[in-house]
Structure 1
Amino acid sequence: MTADGPADLSGLKIDRDAPPPETGRLRRVLLWGAVTVLALGGAVLAYRAANPASVPVAVARAEPLGGVPGAGATEILTANGYVVARQRASVSTEVAGRLNQLFVEEGSRVRKGQVLGVLQNADQKSALASAHAALASAEAREAEAAANARETSLARGRAQQLHAKGLVSQAELDQAVASDDVARARVKSAEAEVRSTAARVESAQVDYDKTFIRAPFAGAVLRKEAEVGEIVSPIPSSGGLTRGAIVTMANLATLEVEADVNEGYVSRVHEGMRAEITLDAYPDERFPGHVRQIVPTADRQKATVLVKVAFDRLDARVLPEMGIKTSFLADSPATGSAAGTTAVAAAVAIPKRAVREADGRAVVYVVEGGRAVMRGVSPRPLAGDRVAVSAGLAPGELVIVEAPSTLGDKSRVRVK
């Protein structure tokens, strides 16, 4: 209050309906921030959709496989035969004797030089010990003779000095010289005896070693021919009482096929020719091979020529004496076109696990430009875990053999 009257307080009233002075600016900032975040999120999603993350995959290279029917090859001839080992032997002994020990069974894998069996060798062992004892005695006599020779040599030297001074007679000097010459001769005799005895030791060692039957090469034992207690000899007896071998073994790394080709068709076969081998034990699989040799003689009774076919790649399931059918293949001529001559595509071999199923058909994924490209194929079984593909793949292309279940056509991939 003042002296003139009560004060006017109407100006101090609070207007609650008026908006705050900074509220509009804050709203604009928040709105622009939200729009920016949404735009950035959309851009990230669009980039990820256009550029998906690469998938790690394992790959294998398609290997060329010539001689597959339907892929530049035509079956022109078939022949039956058997699987044989190029290196095969019936292992016998060098001396006759009774088999005392046998260390292998059918199927045993052995190294070159490994002991397969031992004959009774007590006599040979005793003879070897006696020879060693005789050698030790001869060496002792040689040492004794050498010592005596040194002694007589010194006596000879002293006698010569004393004779020069006139202290000994000529007879005494002659006796010292003769004794030295005899001692030297005895040394030579002892040395010769040592050499002779050493030779007898070597002979006894050879006789002892012959009682050990060793593997002539690395391989597998196919069959036992003798048992412990039987008499074996390099020359078996006609009565069957003496065995001529203890085991039959083969080098499984040299397995090949021997096929009998009718002599009327052998002109169609040549060395190096592609072939396909089908085992009677595995009729659904084909093993690629090639002609290694055409034996230059015919069998007049069967009117056939023996053809040897080597496997391109050996399989552990292939065993000696298995029955086989060999298909000999000839390359088909290239097919012409208006644009020129086009060669028939080569067949390839790929791992079996590279083949997948999509929409009821067999497919594979090929790596092209960092992406997985799906291709339809018609696989045929081969040896082991491989299949042959006659079309759709080229030699050297990379096929995916291991990938996540999310893998699809055109997926970005990264080779492990």
Structure 2
Amino acid sequence: MPFAVYVLGLAVFAQGTSEFMLSGLVSGIAADLDVSLSAAGLLTSAFAIGMVVGAPLMALAGRAWPRRRALLLFLAVFVAVHVVGALTPSYEVLLVTRFVGALANAGFWAVALTTAIAMVPDRLKGRATAVVVGGVTIACVVGVPAGAVLGEHWGWRSAFWAVAIVSLPAFLAVLRSIPGGRGTDPGAAPVPVRDELRALTGPGLRPVLLTMALVQGATFCAFSYLEPLLTRETGLGAGWVPVSLALFGAGSFAGVTVAGRFADARPVAVVATGMTALTLGWAALALAAGSPVLALVLIPLLGMLAFGTGTALITRVLGLAAGAPTLAGAFSTTAFNLGAAVGPWAGGLALDAGFGYRAPVWVSVLLMALALLVAASTAKGRRSRAGERRPSEPVAHRSAHERL
């Protein structure tokens, strides 16, 4: 695996810390800026909406740039908005900085995924994807709990300063390690936008993107309100929040590592198994949230399932949209973060309706049930079409790719 792929994972670590750290800071932000918990949770949604909007737009804007230049520009903007966010006394300004920071993060993600898979042969594309996504899981293990500790002792603003500072080594590493061209062949012309859009309309891609959005919606819905769930429903003290976030992150890292090794060969099996187990896991957490021991056991398991399944879905999208080298990563990022926008919003509605602190987890169960329905209906439709084309061929003899 080229060293530059790990550099991209390092940069994603800094950005992933920012994206996820609010799960341990919502109470502090709400109290400091005099807003409700659901309003503080919307800061996560604002970031996710910026990712949804920014991924295709920033990817298209950066098509004409060398990849290193695009990555450096996105990182510079990301650092700047975190400095502004750390200084502002206004909730509205903070909301805007989250959105702008997400635009930069989205552009970085889209270019980083494309750059990583362009550096490796086909047999290693799943592992390269896992390394980049692994930056987010390491952020969950190290960065997010550290942000929670900083927030508890020195206020939530200190976590924003930390993200800005940690991003600087990533900037230097990208500057020194990423090739300056547009791809593996710096002189190659980019694929025309029309051809990329045509590739994105290929059979089976849109249902996979919708499935990814629903799965990530379930993950972010529960994760965004994990801190109030643990402190107000489970009965754990504030000191357990960083520990719980670290456990979730450790499970996430394990899930990404496993998925990276199997997603290339068995993407359908990894996705199907992960989605089913994840649905049952969120239901188990909603039922067992009152037990500290059971909650702490379930949290790393859910992290493993959520990010393992998410990595397999990204690999699946990149495989189905191989003819769209710029926009495939962008649309993966968009679907990922569309769920991240809808999830906290839906969880906040459930909280505001007075259904209690377990309500966001039950919303996660509902979103996973919808994801399973989409996946099942898509698989049934493909089996029917394949049967019409080859009525005499047993279903068992068809490839795994044709059965999704």
The normalised TM-score by structure 2 is 0.19
* Greater gyration radius: 1
**Between structures 1 and 2, the one with greater helix share:** 2
**Between structures 1 and 2, the one with greater strand share:** 1
